[in-house]
Structure 1
Amino acid sequence: MKTPTTGAPPAPATRHSQIEDAQGLAFGIFMCAFALVPLRDLGLITGQTAGLAVLLSYLTPLSFGALFFVVNLPFYWLGWKRMGLRFVVKTFACVAGLSLCSEIFPAYISFSQINPIFGAVLFGFCSGAGLLAIFRHGGSLGGVGILALYLQEATGFKAGWTQLLFDAVLFGIAALLLPLPQVAYSLLGAMIVNLVIAINHRRDHYVAT
């Protein structure tokens, strides 16, 4: 038997306050910065522009924070053009915040002994939670994240799947440069991140903006 409907219209979406946005974005930045600690201690990589920056930091004397900030610069125009100034400002703040925190966190925490599978899973869940918070408060971590969110808004194609496609190319390149076990563990972490986002980042399940 079907449950009778009341006919009441759905509750309208509400906008986050500035304080709610600030704490949500701060949480997301903190979680993503924390997730990078076991990732880098294990010599693993991840996907998107963060993965590109991590890989370049292993191959050059430049730090991840500096590389991550620079590789995101070309994407702000697309973000402003397609998603608006509010989105770009939040994204720039998140990218700058993660770049800074990634330089600070290793001085306060490290993983001298951690199983690579556990480390990859820990990275995946922590990073996924951080990205969800950032997305739900109207920001991103730039790069492919901007493109993925735009495609989701415009076509309904989930952001996680766009990121997964980009990651496939990035990991193919990494397989030519890094030991295969490191690439395999890295792929596990990246898959968890993308699955967390693909399953949980749905506007019909979360109406605040």
Structure 2
Amino acid sequence: MAEQHPKSAHSLVDDIQGMSLGILLAGVGLHMLTTVGLITGQTAGIAVIISYLTGYSFGPVFFLVNIPFYPVAWRRLGTAFTVKSLISVSLLSLLTELIPLGMVFSYLDPLLGAVTFGALTGLGLLALFRHNGSLGGLGVMALLIQDSTGFRAGWVQLIFDGFLFGLAFFLFDPVIVAYSLVGAIVLNLIIAINHRRDRYIAT
């Protein structure tokens, strides 16, 4: 018989440190991604593409793209989740403006940048998910589908990314899109394999 573990709750301090770590990891990952001119999937991918095409900074675009998803999150996933997601998106939007001021790469191989982005951002999202938060947008929809149907959030995001990257092939250099796809696969595999509520029961 499998050992039964009592359910525990995260304290406010737990949430602050866990979410801060998640936001930092995601911020560094996104900085590496944009340094080498790659794209990604999900809502961040939409924001990156808009940023590249318009010249607007990623942070404000990412914040604005997420706004329509908050009412859905509030109705279906609760106030706490929505507030934490709003805080996370706002802080990440700010952080992506600040990190380039203190972190500059003289050279970063695109493939290494893609893989490192996927690993760091995937771990960052895991930290946020495990503290009942997200980076908004399609992550909200993916968690909603997972909680409603049991279909893994990572697979939901991977399917959407397939459509997004298909569109990107018509907008960007195919080599850039191919490198970017590697990063998105790494990110989504980390979520798909590791984000399971039956393995992690603290809230």
Task: State the 4+ residue runs in structure 1 displaced beyond 2 angstroms.
Answer: none
Which of structures 1 and 2 has the bigger CA Rg? Answer: 1
Q: Corresponding residue for 1:76?
A: 70
Would the aligned equivalents of 1:38 and 1:110 in 2 still touch at CA under 8 Å?
Answer: no
Paired residue for 1:115, among 103, 109, 112? Answer: 109
Q: Where does the alignment leave 5 or more consecutive residues of structure 1 unmatched?
A: none
Q: Corresponding residue for 1:88?
A: 82
**Identical aligned residues as a percent:** 53
Paired residue for 2:185, among 157, 182, 191? Answer: 191
Would the aligned equivalents of 1:37 and 1:111 in 2 still touch at CA under 8 Å?
Answer: no
* 1:47-66 → structure 2 map (5 Å cutoff): 47-66=41-60
What CA distance in whole angstroms lies between the structure 1 residues aligned with 2:160 and 2:6? Answer: 35
What CA distance in whole angstroms lies between the structure 2 residues aligned with 1:61 and 1:98? Answer: 19
User: What is the total number of aligned residue pairs between the two structures?
Assistant: 203
Q: Corresponding residue for 2:40?
A: 46
Q: Where does the alignment leave 5 or more consecutive residues of structure 2 unmatched?
A: none
Taking structure 2 as the reference length, the TM-score comes to 0.97
Q: Corresponding residue for 2:13?
A: 19
- Could you list the per-position Cα deviations for residues 104-159 of structure 1 after superposition, in whole angstroms to 9, with x for gaps in the alignment? 00010022211111111111100111000000000000110000001111111100
What CA distance in whole angstroms lies between the structure 1 residues aligned with 2:188 and 2:141? Answer: 15
Q: Corresponding residue for 1:97?
A: 91
What CA distance in whole angstroms lies between the structure 2 residues aligned with 1:198 and 1:15? Answer: 23
What CA distance in whole angstroms lies between the structure 1 residues aligned with 2:151 and 2:104? Answer: 37
Q: Corresponding residue for 1:136?
A: 130
Taking structure 1 as the reference length, the TM-score comes to 0.95
Amino acid paired to 1:109: M
* 1:152-163 → structure 2 map (5 Å cutoff): 152-163=146-157
Q: Corresponding residue for 2:161?
A: 167
How far does residue 205 in structure 1 lie from its aligned partner after superposition? Answer: 1.3
Over the residues paired in the alignment, what is the CA RMSD in angstroms? Answer: 1.1
